[in-house]
Amino acid sequence: MDVNKKKSRTVAGILFLTYFLVLFYFLFFSEELGRTYSERAYHYNLVPFKEIGRFIRYREVLGMKAVLLNLAGNVVAFMPFGTFLPMFSARCRRMFATVWYSFELSLVVELIQLITKVGSFDVDDLLLNTVGGMFGFVIYAAVVQGRRKKHGNKTT
């Protein structure tokens, strides 16, 4: 592995670790997002598109900030995962693998939220997070393709 590739991989690794720490904080500890331990009831949604529909239907009542934070926020939160993961795992350089691992990570997060009663288990979050991982992979693939066009077929 050449020096520039090694440096790029190290920087990507640091960014990936930073991403996980920030994601972990916002998913489990951010008071701005209502992540407190004061509520001890279980909150969950097992009906696909129920919460997405609710946010769209009541967008004027909830406010655009709440709608964007919930819908776009779940997608954007998992885009770095879909972008960084293929950089570290050759088997994740195919979209299906990255999308599958995005789903798995999202499922783990949702289960932890359910068990710890921090946040809620929401099947719509699983969907939105997985879509975010897929969009992140598309960004990764576009960058790789652009680099291949610029530098020839030797970069991955």
Model-level pTM greater than 0.85? Answer: yes
Give per-residue pLDDT as tens, 38-92: 556 788 999 999 999 999 999 999 999 999 989 999 999 999 999 999 988 888 9
Residue 150: exposure state from Cβ atoms within 10 A (0-12, 13-18, ≥19): exposed
CA 16 to CA 11: how far, in whole Å?
A: 9
CA 103 to CA 100: how far, in whole Å?
A: 5
Contact 89, 13 (CB under 8 A): no
The CA distances from residue 123 to 35, 50, 59, 71, 155, in Å, are 18, 9, 20, 13, 37
Ordered by start, the domain boundaries in the chain are 3-151
CA 128 to CA 76: how far, in whole Å?
A: 9
Share of the chain above pLDDT 90, in %: 60
Task: Judge whether residue 33 has pLDDT over 80.
Answer: no
Residues 6+ apart with CB under 8 A from 12: 84, 87, 88
> Residues 140-151: what's their mean pLDDT?
92
